[in-house]
């Protein structure tokens, strides 16, 4: 069973309702001063290590009694899987996650730690999407995708609420420039919806790897432009390997996003190191893409205070050492 798409864009009131709903389980992550005129929003500090707990909990908390009995199935390379597993455990809901067989071990362990069942498929996104739909149809479970759901987008949008509030608390009055990693687009859709509703003068940019720049191409043509999975699989940013933006987030990006900048693999790796040395933050490559944009693509941004949303920190220890010493 999938949630119907009513064709609307999410509203500020819906995002505010999500903020109240997730308050018991999601952190109001800090806005950390970084370099002059720049701040970091470290969603890597969330209980499951990424921003995904916001959208997952907002969605599952709205299940009816019957839906809770039916359980939830999802497809994810890792962070959304962990978030669904945690939200389901907290709410007493059975969860089954379809993951790629090359998912990082730390993310697989996180899903298992929260008691969710796992079914592994091949490495391509369409494989796990298809299998999750099969399971939902066969077993009558509720399918909650990682991005293509308005409830998920509203949960992720709570980050945008916090950014605007925290900049005001810090006395920053100038229009902000917000950088958000973009894969399937749920995070960028939510953050841009909230920020633009509260600060129409703000700019929001997606940041994605040059090896998986499907969102850049899709926005340029104002239609979904899929990249082959064998191309997107080349980036170290495993959370940003979707072959195209999801349709519901893309509808929001067409309205709210000011552009997409791309960063290369060396810049992503360097950003992981800068986060460790200068901000004492552990980031996975996907979570460091926005920081890479701040560090290496500043000349592509308008003037103003810059906020980089650091989306996650679930990185295998061995891989992390390689990134820091390579």
Separation CA 154–CA 161 (nearest Å):
11
The DSSP code for 30 is -
Q: Which of 279, 218, 206, 274 is nearest to 243 (CA)?
A: 218
Name 133's Cβ contacts closer than 8 Å, sequence gap at least 6: 2, 143
Other CB atoms within 10 Å distance of the CB of residue 65:
6
Other CB atoms within 10 Å distance of the CB of residue 74:
29
Tokens coding 318: 């061995």
Separation CA 83–CA 55 (nearest Å):
8
- 3-state class (DSSP) for residue 247: helix
Q: Are 90 and 63 in contact (CB under 8 A)?
A: no
Among this protein's residues, is 218 annotated catalytic?
no
Separation CA 252–CA 255 (nearest Å):
5
Please give the radius of gyration of the chain, using alpha carbons only, rounded to the nearest integer: 18
Catalytic-labelled residue, pool 41, 50, 52, 77: 52
Among this protein's residues, is 311 annotated catalytic?
yes
Place of tokens 């090359």: 102
Angle CA 50–244–73, to nearest 5: 55
Residues marked as catalytic: 52, 311
């Amino acid at each position: 069973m999938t949630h119907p798409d009513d064709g609307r864009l999410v509203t500020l009131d819906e995002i505010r309702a999500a903020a109240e709903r997730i308050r018991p389980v999601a952190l109001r992550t800090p806005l950390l001063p970084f370099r002059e005129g720049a701040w970091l929003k470290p969603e890597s500090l969330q209980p499951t290590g990424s921003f995904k707990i916001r959208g997952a909990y907002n969605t599952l908390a709205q299940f009816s009694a019957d839906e809770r009995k039916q359980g939830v199935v999802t497809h994810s390379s890792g962070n959304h899987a962990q978030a669904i597993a945690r939200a389901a455990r907290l709410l007493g809901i059975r969860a089954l996650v379809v993951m790629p067989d090359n998912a990082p071990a730390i993310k697989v362990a996180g899903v298992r730690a929260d008691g969710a069942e796992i079914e592994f498929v091949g490495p391509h996104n369409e494989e796990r999407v298809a299998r999750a739909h099969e399971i939902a149809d066969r077993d009558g479970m509720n399918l909650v995708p990682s991005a293509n759901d308005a409830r998920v987008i509203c949960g992720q949008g709570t980050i945008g609420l916090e950014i605007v509030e925290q900049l005001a608390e810090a006395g920053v009055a100038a229009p902000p420039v917000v950088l958000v990693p973009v894969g399937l687009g749920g995070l960028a859709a939510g953050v841009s919806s909230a920020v633009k509703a509260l600060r129409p003068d703000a700019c929001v940019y997606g940041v994605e790897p040059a090896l998986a720049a499907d969102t850049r191409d899709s926005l340029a043509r104002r239609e979904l432009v899929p990249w082959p999975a064998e191309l997107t699989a080349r980036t170290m940013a495993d959370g940003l390997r979707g072959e195209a933006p999801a349709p519901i987030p893309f509808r929001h990006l067409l309205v709210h996003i000011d552009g997409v900048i791309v960063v290369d693999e060396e810049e992503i790796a360097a950003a992981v190191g800068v986060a460790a040395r200068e901000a004492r933050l552990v980031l996975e490559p996907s979570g460091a893409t926005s920081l890479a944009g701040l560090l290496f693509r500043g000349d592509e941004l308008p003037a103003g205070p810059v906020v980089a949303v650091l989306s996650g920190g679930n990185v295998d220890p061995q891989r992390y050492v390689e990134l820091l010493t390579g």
